Amino acid sequence: MSFTDLAFFAFVGVTILAYFVTPKRFRWVTLLVASLAFYWINSGWLLLILLATVAVTFGVALWIEASNKRGKDELAAAGKKLDRAEKKALRAKAKKRSRRILALGVCLVLGALLLLKYYDFFADNAAGLLKPLGITPPHFAFLLPLGISFYTLQAIAYMTDVFRGKVKADRNFLKFTLFMSFFPQIVQGPIPRHAQLAKQLYEPHDFDYTRLCHGAQLALWGLFQKMVIADRLAVPVGQVFENYTQYHGLMLFVAAAGYGLQVYTDFSGGMDVARGVAQMLGIELELNFKQPYFSTSIEDFWRRWHITLGSWMKNYVFYPLSLSKAFANLSRKSRRFLGDFVGKRLPPILAMFTVYFLVGFWHGADWKYIMYGVWNGIFLVAGILLPEQYAKWADKLHIDRESFYWRTFQIVRTFIICSLGRLFSRGETLEAAWQMFGSIFAEWNNFTWLSESTRLSLGLTERNWMLLFAAIAVLVWVDRKHEHGIHLREAIDRQRLPLRWIIYYGGIAAVFVFGMWGPAFDASSFIYGRF
């Protein structure tokens, strides 16, 4: 049951109704039942794998909390007798104990993800090494539990937050199960933090008509992005990527840029449906996209794109790695050889590369995804090491870096870098991506992609192309309004009743009439739902 199925709309309708007629004390139970039912409908017995992760996470968090408390009690009992160094040693010892429990928890939940999602990848790569020994590792092709890449990160974040003393461990297993399985976000995020979401799920919310309307509008806008733009773009983009040897030069770049837009509208559309549905129930999920196509640098792009993954990586990989003793030693040693400037920046640079390697790998068990991460990592590191150089060049060329033209240039430059990176995430294989990459620069072939005959050979009719361009224009307009801090839904609220209803019905009609329905366009599974 995808977000774009009519059955899902019915499911949401029944859940909302049930939620608000349930007595307040038990409203969270309604959400839990709905979430487990949703998971069961989509994944059947794989629900047990999710529940196993929930149980491990729940238990480990309580254990960590008990260990933290023991450490504090020990310190309080011995506190006055100890000097500063002894206190520090005692604190370190207690922390180490808690850290071991955390490591166990992380290994267990991450182990499940690695086994189910990445086993075959490792087996394939190990096969070459093991061949001389006459061993062929078996292939399992495990079925992936829905949302495993997302809820695993959520579980790690929760256990780490308990370890760091940021949140209290949950004591009610059923409530915690709801936190881990809340149906709008389980499919593809946003990846929540306990401090932000749990309380909202456990507390009852009153019915609020305006909020219900806003949630429905957001969900509708999500469906528009997904069904009118993303699923339509998928047709020509798929045609080019799947037959990439037939296309050359700029055409391949346009396809890569088109794929970028497809992923954006697919993922951001899915997020808006999730956030809209949650909002109707009175629950605010975190924002995952902030007009990424207005980014002026790759760094800026990653601050606006899949924000909750970026912030997860920052809090649970980048900071701990950068501040680790090993990295601090490396920094000290490298300063002798590389000088202060690079030496000081080496730990965060290495940590950042690790992050983007992981971001790539998280997307899928394939070298092309790793290359996608590395591609982004290269530009991020360049952005860190070369800003002074960039400034010098800009001064030499007498560029006013505050001007509109410079900002536009930055946005276009970022768009080109991002689009080229998409070759790796969408290319059929890593080799195919490199071949396309080479062709874009080597086979400079005029603008044949603009011609009507080329356009019509890509699987969309002229009417569909026009519709696609119009829908993209609407998207750009909406994103631009958001970029300027204008809240469209509130603006709609201020309109007179008839106009408001014309907008509502127009939106619904646009999705129903112009959405890509039916088996002819079977692109309706969400791209990030597969990650």
Partner 1 sequence: MEDILAILEEVRPDVDFLNEDRLIDDDILDSFDIITIVGEFNEEFDIEIDVEDLEPENFNTVAAMKELIDKLQAE
Per CB under 8 A, residues contacting partner 1 are 84, 87-88, 164-166, 299, 303, 314-315, 318-320, 322-323, 328, 331, 344-345, 347-348, 351-352, 384
Cα 354 → chain centroid: 17
CB of 318 to partner 1, least distance (A): 6
Kindly tell me which of 177 and 322 has the beta carbon lying closer to partner 1. Answer: 322
310: its two tokens: 């970026």
**Of 87 and 175, which has the nearer Cβ to partner 1?**
87
At its nearest, how many Å lie between partner 1 and the CB of residue 27?
32
CB of 402 to partner 1, least distance (A): 13
| Residue 107 CB burial class (10 angstroms; 0-12, 13-18, ≥19) | exposed
The least distance separating partner 1 from the CB of residue 393, rounded to whole angstroms, comes to: 17
What are the DSSP calls for 98-155, one per residue? HHHHHHHHHHHHHHHHIIIIIHHHHHHHHHHHHGGGT-------PPPPTTHHHHHHHH
CA distance 292 to 307: 10
Q: From the CB of 396, what's the least distance to partner 1, in Å?
A: 19
How far apart are the C-alpha atoms of 495 and 504, rounded to whole Å? Answer: 12
Q: How far apart are CA 346 and CA 188, in angstroms?
A: 33
Q: Shortest distance, CB of residue 193 to partner 1, whole angstroms?
A: 13
Phi, psi of 23, deg, nearest 5: -55, 145
**Residue 186 near residue 39 (C-beta atoms within 8 A):** yes
Alpha-carbon span 102 to 316, nearest angstrom:
12
Contact call for residues 298 and 383 (beta carbons, < 8 A): yes
Q: How far is the CB of 105 from partner 1 (least distance, A)?
A: 17
The residue (of 17 and 391) whose beta carbon lies closer to partner 1 is 391
Cis preceding linkage at 320, omega within 30? no
Round to whole Å and give the CA distance between 233 and 237.
Answer: 6
Residue 75 or 257: the one with the smaller Cβ distance to partner 1 is: 75
Task: Tell me if 529 sits within 8 A of 243, measured CB to CB.
Answer: no
Smallest gap from Cβ 323 to partner 1, in A, equals 6
Q: Closest separation between CB of residue 167 and partner 1, Å?
A: 12
Among residues 13 and 79, whose Cβ is nearest to partner 1? Answer: 79
C-beta of 429: minimal distance to partner 1 in Å? 33
Q: How many CB atoms lie within 10 A of CB 308?
A: 24
Are the CB atoms for 424 and 432 separated by under 8 Å? no
Task: Provide DSSP, 478-520.
Answer: HHHHHHTT--HHHHHHTS-HHHHHHHHHHHHHHHHHHS--SGG
The H or E element containing residue 391 is helix 387-396
First to last CA, the chain: 17
